[in-house]
Amino acid sequence: MSEALTQVALPRKPSIGRRLSALPWLSYYNRLFVLVIACNAGVIWLGPGVLAMGAETLSTMVLINLSLATLVRQQYVINALFWLATRVPVTWPLCIRRRVAKVYHFGGLHSGAAVAATGWFIALVGVQAVMHLSEPGSVSLTVLWLNAVLVGVLLLMVGMALPQVRGRFHNGFERVHRFAGWSVLLLFWGRTLLASPELLRSGSFWMLVLLTVSIALPWLRLRKVAIETVRPSRHAAIVGFTHTTPFAGSSTAISLNPLLEWHSFANIPTPGQAGFRLIISRAGDWTGQFIEQLPSHVWVKGITTAGVANVETLFKSVLYIATGSGIGPVMPHLLAGNVPAQLIWSTRSPRSTYGDALVDEILHAQPQALIWDTDERGKPDLVQLACAAVEVQGVEAVICISNQGLTRRVVQELEVRGIPAYGAIWDS
């Protein structure tokens, strides 16, 4: 198959309109972000103005946005969003299905709402400060200082979430969001208890109850589980779990220190067998330490969560492109065989890196797979191979699982040419 694909010419890029629509800054993630900001701006535009809204209204807007930002990241909500999106039948027009498949860009709602909540809270503190200066007894100094601390914490979280900062200091981003998020929740409880004489009749109280339950749910399922690990090479480890059997296309977050850092990996359940596997490849200090030490237990929390490749059921056929350990998120779909699929897997020395058993399992499920050994053949032009596969084999959509830079390039180049393409967006 490889020779046939490499001989197909790369399609020309279409009109300037199509090129612009495929640019990263016009992604569905950014569109949702702008939509949330626009809705909040509309409240200001149609309302009496920020200064005239009053502290109670401003506080309500803060909590509405914080609720959206928190709940859209909740595992049950994420699974529900994917379930709802994938109810669209393949008989619907492709122009609808390709847009519904962008469901995994829901992080734009999270980011937009978090920024909006921070803006509303800054306005709230400003209004309360003016009230305190004009009428010293109208606003408690304790509440004012509490709110000022909250603004600082929220600004820290927004700053750490900026793509450039998050990418460079990911562990710091993760810890700030965890501990600062908990601090924000506690501070909101403090100010609500101070400001609401009748809690049960307060909307803020019930919003906080909902947010507290949402945040606590995954941690209520925290447990330490035994694992069995096979290390086919110094580059990769295959980790086996038996405590549950997840659905294909889901992921599990694991940790060696649950308060400090978590790492998500795609679950690989085998049809007809209990349990599942993860593929962990050496990609940093944590994964390197894991592969070297091969721990006997890890921490897990929450439930298994749907990932981007679940959108495959929206299409009549799919081409999977994976590089290296990106084969992990792809394998469960190949093994399940719910959708006609093709595979292009680019990796170095696949058998010596991941083991004969894994490679044979992939070839058994996908005999026509193109496994490109980069040690022997160099790096392929994945955009050219993908376009060729779409033309020769007639697949409807492409799902790319690779590193951030390559995934973005492949998805953008295919979208420019009118080919539905999907890949992780690294927004968490």
In this predicted structure, the answer to whether residue 1 has a pLDDT above a threshold of 60 is no
Same domain, 89 and 215: yes
Between residues 140 and 209, which one has the greater pLDDT?
Answer: 209
Tokens of 410: 């492949």
C-alpha distances in angstroms, 296 versus 177, 225, 228, 242, 254?
29, 9, 7, 13, 13
**Is there a domain that residue 150 lies in?**
yes
| Distance from C-alpha of 147 to C-alpha of 121, rounded to nearest angstrom | 8
**Is there a domain that residue 35 lies in?**
no
Mean pLDDT of 133-160: 83
Predicted structure pTM score: 0.89
Mean pLDDT of 323-327: 92
Q: How does strand 250-257 pair with strand 297-300?
A: antiparallel
- Domain C-terminal end among 203, 220, 237: 220
| Distance from C-alpha of 354 to C-alpha of 368, rounded to nearest angstrom | 19
Same domain, 280 and 327: no
Same domain, 91 and 204: yes
Same domain, 356 and 371: yes
**Is there a domain that residue 167 lies in?**
yes
In this predicted structure, the answer to whether residue 20 has a pLDDT above a threshold of 70 is no
List pLDDT tens digits, range 143-155: 788 888 888 888 9
In this predicted structure, the answer to whether residue 294 has a pLDDT above a threshold of 60 is yes
User: Per-residue DSSP letters for 159-187?
Assistant: HHHSHHHHHHSHHHHHHHHHHHHHHHHHH
- Domain C-terminal end among 220, 250, 272: 220
**Is there a domain that residue 396 lies in?**
yes
List pLDDT tens digits, range 386-412: 988 888 888 999 999 999 889 999 998
| Distance from C-alpha of 180 to C-alpha of 177, rounded to nearest angstrom | 5
- Lowest-confidence pick of 47-51, 59-63, 217-221: 47-51
pLDDT-derived band at 17 (thresholds 50, 70, 90) equals: low
pLDDT at 34: 95
pLDDT-derived band at 49 (thresholds 50, 70, 90) equals: confident
pLDDT at 16: 61
Domain count, the chain: 3
Same domain, 82 and 183: yes
CATH number of the domain where residue 361 is located: 3.40.50.80
Same domain, 193 and 237: no
In this predicted structure, the answer to whether residue 363 has a pLDDT above a threshold of 70 is yes
Same domain, 58 and 199: yes
Same domain, 294 and 323: no
- Lowest-confidence pick of 168-177, 230-239, 349-358: 168-177
In this predicted structure, the answer to whether residue 203 has a pLDDT above a threshold of 80 is no
Beta bridge partners of 372: 346
State residue 15 phi and psi, 5-degree precision: -60, 165
**Is there a domain that residue 408 lies in?**
yes
Is residue 322 within 8 Å of residue 344, measured between CB atoms? yes
pLDDT at 162: 86
In this predicted structure, the answer to whether residue 413 has a pLDDT above a threshold of 60 is yes
Nearest-5° Cα angle at 149, 120 to 112: 35
**Is there a domain that residue 22 lies in?**
no
pLDDT at 145: 84
Same domain, 338 and 276: no
| Distance from C-alpha of 153 to C-alpha of 156, rounded to nearest angstrom | 5
Is residue 153 within 8 Å of residue 183, measured between CB atoms? yes
- Domain C-terminal end among 251, 283, 301: 301
Same domain, 116 and 142: yes
Is residue 161 within 8 Å of residue 152, measured between CB atoms? no
CATH number of the domain where residue 228 is located: 2.40.30.10
User: Per-residue DSSP letters for 229-281?
Assistant: EEEEETTEEEEEE-S--PPTTEEEEEEEETTTEEEEEE-BPPTTSSSEEEEEE
**Is there a domain that residue 37 lies in?**
no
Same domain, 334 and 408: yes
C-alpha distances in angstroms, 65 versus 39, 58, 62?
11, 11, 5
DSSP-derived secondary structure letter, 137: T
**Is there a domain that residue 215 lies in?**
yes
User: Which residue range(s) make up the domain with 115?
Assistant: 48-220
- Tell me what the pLDDT averaged over the chain comes to: 88
In this predicted structure, the answer to whether residue 250 has a pLDDT above a threshold of 70 is yes
What lies within 8 Å, CB to CB, of 11 at 6+ separation is 387, 391, 417
Same domain, 230 and 125: no
Tokens of 256: 């060696």
